[in-house]
Amino acid sequence: VVATAPHGLKGATIVFDKITVTGSENIIMAATLAHGTTTLINVAKEPEVVQLCEVLKLHGASIEGIGTDELIIKGTKQTLLSIKDITVIPDRIEAGTYLCAGTITNSAITLENVYPEHLRAVTRKLVKMGFGIEEGKNTIKLFPAKNIQSSDIETTEYPGFPTDMQAQFMALATQAKGTSVIDERLFENRFMHVSELVRMGAKIKLKGHSATVEGETGLTGADVMATDLRASSALVLAALVAQGVTRIHRIYHLDRGYENLEGKLAALGAKIKRLSE
């Protein structure tokens, strides 16, 4: 697709048929530089979208309704904003993955430099599964469970349970007491990690957009293949509790969303190292 607008974009009313984070962000930035006023309806409310709006407004953009599903943006008529250095909010999915590293091994860990309010859907689910959670201003402390309880999950848009934590919770569910049902409502083909977890001994049945996970399953180390970013992290989590050595191939997916994952897990006591293929 080649698109041009020699005289700039014009404001319009845009209704998103489906809630989309990247779609919302792209249109927000375009509307900021457009001629006239743009009204966006059914906008994503994820923290990343909210921060983008806040940064644009801080540097001169006119945006009303930040944090809601309807935004009104008055364009700058192609006048560029002068953006100063900013601090990006902590990655809530990376933080949630480390929480799952603590839960799947039933260990106490502390996360620093996090926004607890961005992780409430995850931490509430962990509390339901038997873990202890203590929130500070920018910290989350995780305490072990006496018994890890099963829990059903349905992915949805923020502030609901994030689809990007589905794979990690599936790995955790293999160690819970009872059966968990994971309902993936946002994306198709988001269960690519299931076959690899099964290769490690997990008992998972798929039906449509639902996965039924049988808990208290002993996992065994194996050679497995990472298929995407979150599937990669789920395999790493499963490997933490598997008997024997697990080799995870195509881990370049991990680097899209995690910085020095193996180093951080090693600092917590995991026996993990990166090798070249």
Q: Give tens-digit pLDDT for 19-43.
A: 999 999 999 999 999 999 999 999 9
The pLDDT assigned to 276 comes to 86
Question: In terms of domains, do 48 and 182 share one?
Answer: no
* pLDDT tens digit sequence for 43-68: 999 999 999 999 999 999 999 999 99
**45, 16 in Cβ contact below 8 A?**
no
Over residues 178-203, the mean pLDDT reads 94
Question: In terms of domains, do 63 and 98 share one?
Answer: no
Question: Is 67 inside any structural domain?
Answer: yes
Question: Is 276 inside any structural domain?
Answer: no
**231, 171 in Cβ contact below 8 A?**
no
Question: In terms of domains, do 99 and 142 share one?
Answer: yes
Whole-structure pTM value = 0.94
Q: In percent, how much of the chain has pLDDT > 70?
A: 100
**161, 186 in Cβ contact below 8 A?**
no
Residue 198 CB neighbours (<10 A): 16
Q: Which of 68, 89, 110 is the last residue of a domain?
A: 89
* pLDDT tens digit sequence for 68-126: 999 999 999 999 999 999 999 999 999 999 999 999 999 999 999 999 999 999 999 99
Question: In terms of domains, do 157 and 126 share one?
Answer: yes
The pLDDT assigned to 130 comes to 98
Strands 179-183 and 210-214: antiparallel
User: What CATH number corresponds to the domain at position 66?
Assistant: 3.65.10.10
Distance CA 156, CA 163 (A): 7
Question: Is 14 inside any structural domain?
Answer: yes
Structural domain count, the chain: 2
Question: Is 277 inside any structural domain?
Answer: no
Question: In terms of domains, do 49 and 158 share one?
Answer: no
Question: In terms of domains, do 1 and 116 share one?
Answer: no
Question: Is 40 inside any structural domain?
Answer: yes
3-class SS of residue 211: strand
Residue with tokens 């923290």: 47
Q: Cβ contacts of residue 175 below 8 Å, gap of 6+?
A: 104, 148, 215, 216, 217, 241
Question: Is 29 inside any structural domain?
Answer: yes
Give the domain extent around 193.
92-267
The pLDDT assigned to 277 comes to 77
Question: Is 273 inside any structural domain?
Answer: no
